[in-house]
Structure 1
Amino acid sequence: MLEALAGTGLAAAAGLNAYIPLLALGLLSRFSDLVALPSGWTWLENPWVLGIMGALFVVEVIADKVPALDTVNDVIQTAVRPAAGGIVFGSGTSAPTAAVSDPSSFFESGSWIPVAIGVVIALVVHLAKAGTRAAANTALAGIAAPGLSVAEDVVSVLLVVFAILLPGLVVVVLAGLIAALVIVIRTARRVAARRREKAALAAL
């Protein structure tokens, strides 16, 4: 159960920012005892891989905070984030962590199954994020993009931290994320409706 929650938290984090969970697993496995990646996933802690992911992370952080460019970035990330979700779910559910000491019995058969689950989770989160961002940008002329992006990065980091240290809290963070997305969408719709009303009155 803890393995599933840890993998879900990592995959959901990848749906918000592909490189935060990838970097976290690689760096923690390389420089700490909090994560011990199994042999099939040790490439994540390779210095060259970490360097490339670090550079891509910087690009992602900047692009995601610029109105209009964030929409283009979301289109590109439609392939990247689900792939990252598959990687972190697959590696995370098979790696001993601070909270999970013996993950060997989880998904014993079919190594592709956890990867597929991670892809689906990350894709769902990514589509929800992209849809919410598009609605907010349309209603608020893009001014909310930087704030929303920072909030998404913070949630992604929290999901990774809880997935590794306190998997049970992943459910709480995901519930909060869903509630926040609903609030943002409803607020954007109200703002857009008010703008249409003002435009209609001005045209009279």
Structure 2
Amino acid sequence: MLEALTGAGLAAAAGMNAYIPLLVVGLADRLFPGLLALPEGWAWLSSWWVIGIVAVLLVVEVVADKVPAVDSVNDVLQTLVRPAAGGLVFGSSSTASTVAVTDPAEFFASNQWVPIVVGAVIALAVHAGKATVRPAANAATAGAAAPVVSTVEDVGAIGLSLVAIVAPLLVVVALLALAAAGWWLGRTARRRRRPAERPATAGDG
């Protein structure tokens, strides 16, 4: 149960930023094995080569995601990357020993494709919500919301990744808060956008 929550939290974080949970998992296994220890089949995620590549990609993602219009293009490009990352972090963490899970369930170890698919679906759902809300927020604020919302997402991805490893039970609360925040942001953006569209519509008539 706890390993599933750990995987779900990391996968959801991947839906916001593909590289943050990958980097957290890799660094945790490499530097803090008492916090998270990957099984042998997933140990490549904590190799310095992989960590270095993920870190570089993270820098590119962080910069691109804060530029209006570019962030929407980036979301399109990330449509495959984020679910893939979600599958990787769910698959690896669900069979890993963590500070909260000392004996991962045998089910995940013997059915490794299950957590990968589940993680990809979770990440895709979060990504879809992000890709839907962001253009509306940009349109409602003339792009001013892009760096703010992106920074909040990055911080949220870091926090969710750490919570998933250290206190997986809190993942449920975090996911509910994430869903509520996405709903509120989308609703607010739509409300701000409508008044700006009405004068143009009236003028056309």
TM-score normalised per structure 1: 0.96
Matches within 5 A, 1:89-108: 89-108=90-109
Separation in 1 of the partners of 2:30 and 2:100? 18
1:29 aligned partner: 29
Deviation at 1:201, TM superposition (A): 5.6
Which stretch shows the higher mean deviation, 188-197 or 56-65? 188-197
Gaps of 5+ in 1: none
Separation in 2 of the partners of 1:163 and 1:34? 11
| Same amino acid, percent of matched pairs | 57
Matched, 1:172 2:173: yes
1:14 aligned partner: 14
Contact 2:160 2:174 in 1 (8 A): yes
1:116 aligned partner: 117
Deviation at 1:140, TM superposition (A): 2.0
Gaps of 5+ in 2: none
Count, aligned residues:
204
Matched, 1:53 2:65: no
Matched, 1:39 2:35: no
Separation in 1 of the partners of 2:39 and 2:141? 46
Contact 1:94 1:106 in 2 (8 A): no
Distance change in 2, residues 1:52/1:108 (3 Å): closer
Separation in 2 of the partners of 1:176 and 1:108? 30
TM-score normalised per structure 2: 0.95
SS in structure 2 of the partner of residue 167 of structure 1: coil
| Letter matched to residue 120 of structure 2 | V
Contact 2:138 2:146 in 1 (8 A): yes
Q: CA RMSD in A?
A: 1.3
Which stretch shows the higher mean deviation, 188-197 or 66-75? 188-197
